[in-house]
Amino acid sequence: MIAILKYNSGNTMSVQVALQRLGHESVVTADPEILLRADRVIIPGVGEARSAMSHLRERGLDTVILSLKQPVLGICLGLQLMCNRSEENDTECLGIFDTLVRRFPPGARVPHMGWNNLENLSNTPLLDGLSLADNLYYVHSYYAELNSDTMAVCNYILPFSAAMQHDNFYAVQFHPEKSAEAGARLLKNFLEL
């Protein structure tokens, strides 16, 4: 079973539809028992860090996420929530990735919205079959700094973490559910981990 975390963030339906296109059913849930039993957990996200983290903490979902042992994929805001801290309303996050989330510098056009390729791809099963020529879809005003868990880089104004992995936790800043064939490939890879 694939569980998509339900919290006060958007984009759960887009992720669910993308999984259906790959032939996989999923459940959108905030039930800790279902999340703990799921084969895979996806934390999608379109929203704001502080309200998202408050929602998770109020329901004890922050500790549930940290206890998960199966593969977990954070998407966009989901990636940012997995970091130590976000400059978005000075928010303490989950601390899975030892890095900060920063706002793009003044003068940068934000949000960073559109198609960009990946650089510095690591040899990892999540990125299998993706190449430097593949473009993926981004919509974000904040980014995770490069760190030891960075598996792929995107360069918009400055280089930032486009994909990260720490143990069973994976995360991407782009939206694979909106990234055509390359995004479908990444989701398929995640489901096969």
Residues 81 and 140: beta-carbon distance below 8 Å: no
Alpha carbon distance 91, 156 (integer Å): 23
Residues 126 and 107: beta-carbon distance below 8 Å: no
User: Is 140 known to be catalytic?
Assistant: no
User: Is 175 known to be catalytic?
Assistant: yes
2 DSSP β-pair partners: 26, 40
Alpha carbon distance 127, 192 (integer Å): 12
Alpha carbon distance 8, 35 (integer Å): 16
- Of 76, 83, 93, 154, the catalytic one is 76
Buried b (16+ CB within 10 A) or exposed e, 35-59: beebebbbbbbbbbbeebbbbbeee
User: Is 33 known to be catalytic?
Assistant: no
- Of 112, 140, 154, 175, the catalytic one is 175
* 3-state class (DSSP) for residue 126: helix
- Of 83, 88, 112, 177, the catalytic one is 177
Give the catalytic positions in this structure.
76, 175, 177
